Amino acid sequence: MDSTLIDRPARREALDLQALWVLVRVSSEHLVLPSASVLEMVRAPAAHAVPFTPDAVRGVAPLRGQVGPVVDMRTRLGVESLHAEQQALVALLHARERDHHAWVDDLEECVRDGRTFARTVDPHECAFGKWYDTYQAPTLELAWYLRQFAEPHARIHAEGAVVADLVRQGRQAEAAARVALARTGVLQRLVQLFQGARQLVTASAREIAIIVNVRGRSVGLVVDEVEGIDHLRPETLEALPSGFGSSDPAIVGTARTRRDDKTVVVVDLDALTESYAAAG
């Protein structure tokens, strides 16, 4: 075990691991905050920028009757902003939609020219299929929506295999008819799904501000999602491995939740907000 926790017995002993903790998600990280310090959970408020404050401070905003700092926890943890992450996903979905238009165009040209179709007919081997098979959606809503791609995506690639076989048999007219049907049918279904997915990604930018009380001050911590409330298992508290956030005074270590046995990062609110005092 890393010595970080051992060198700070007062911090470890001060944690009330028997109490309830609020579980939040920041990018792919799962953090816990002491529920006794949580005052409110609201949509992330617009913040007024304050010069010469740390990068993680978006600014100040009215928080529970007083002006306090609004802290972007993604920036605080050194991960990509939610906006940048969403824009990258929207761009990827645009690109994969264009891929399938080009795939059908090439299939049609192969039928017309009587040549072999060289693109993959395996739905797991195209760029979208490789991404789709490994992507972990950040929300249940998006995960449910993406499941709708499975059938039409497999079907359009299956059509490619059928068309390629018809061309090899010299049955160009039948092959051309199937391509035309695929273009107006299953391809359009995929286009609708891609459009809907992009809209869902854009609409899901609903950051949550956890308003916490730290030594009588209100501080807003902007997170991606509130996952629930749970107890921690005290015997599972460990320090992070050396070099993996172990030098960050705000990170006490990791523990596992009692109900779901999920590994979470335990946050020290006093240490987390200490450097933001001037912003408030």
Residue 276: per-residue pLDDT: 66
Domain contains 3: no
The pLDDT of residue 113: 93
Residues 6+ apart with CB under 8 A from 100: 128, 156, 187, 190, 191
Task: Specify whether 49 is located in the same domain as 100.
Answer: no
- The neighbour count for residue 251, using CB atoms within 10 Å, is 21
pLDDT per position as a tens digit, 197-216: 999 998 876 789 999 998 88
Closest CA to 48 of 35, 37, 33, 59: 59
Would you place residue 3 in the very low, low, confident or very high pLDDT band (cuts 50, 70, 90)? Answer: very low
Amino acid at the residue 73: M
pLDDT-above-90 percentage for the chain: 61
CA atoms of 171 and 42, how far apart (whole Å): 62
- Residues whose CB falls within 8 Å of the CB of residue 145, separated by 6 or more in sequence, listed in order: 196, 197, 200
| Model confidence band, residue 10 (pLDDT cutoffs 50, 70, 90) | low
**For 44-66, what is the HEC assignment?**
CCCCECCCCCCCCEEEEEEECCE
Let me know whether 188 and 246 are in one domain: no
Number of domains in the chain: 2
Instruction: Clarify whether residues 160 and 194 are in a common domain.
Output: yes
The answer to whether residue 35 is domain-embedded is: yes
Beta strands in the chain (DSSP E): 20-26, 29-34, 38-43, 57-63, 66-72, 208-214, 217-223, 225-231, 251-256, 263-267
User: What's the pLDDT tens digit per position in 220-249?
Assistant: 999 998 999 999 988 888 877 665 555 677
**DSSP SS3 for 149:** helix
How much is the average pLDDT of 86-99?
96
Q: Which domain holds residue 42?
A: 9-79+224-271
Which CATH number goes with the domain that contains 235? 2.30.30.40
Say which DSSP state 260 is in.
Answer: T
Does the pLDDT of residue 266 top 70, yes or no?
Answer: yes
Q: What is the pLDDT of residue 1?
A: 36
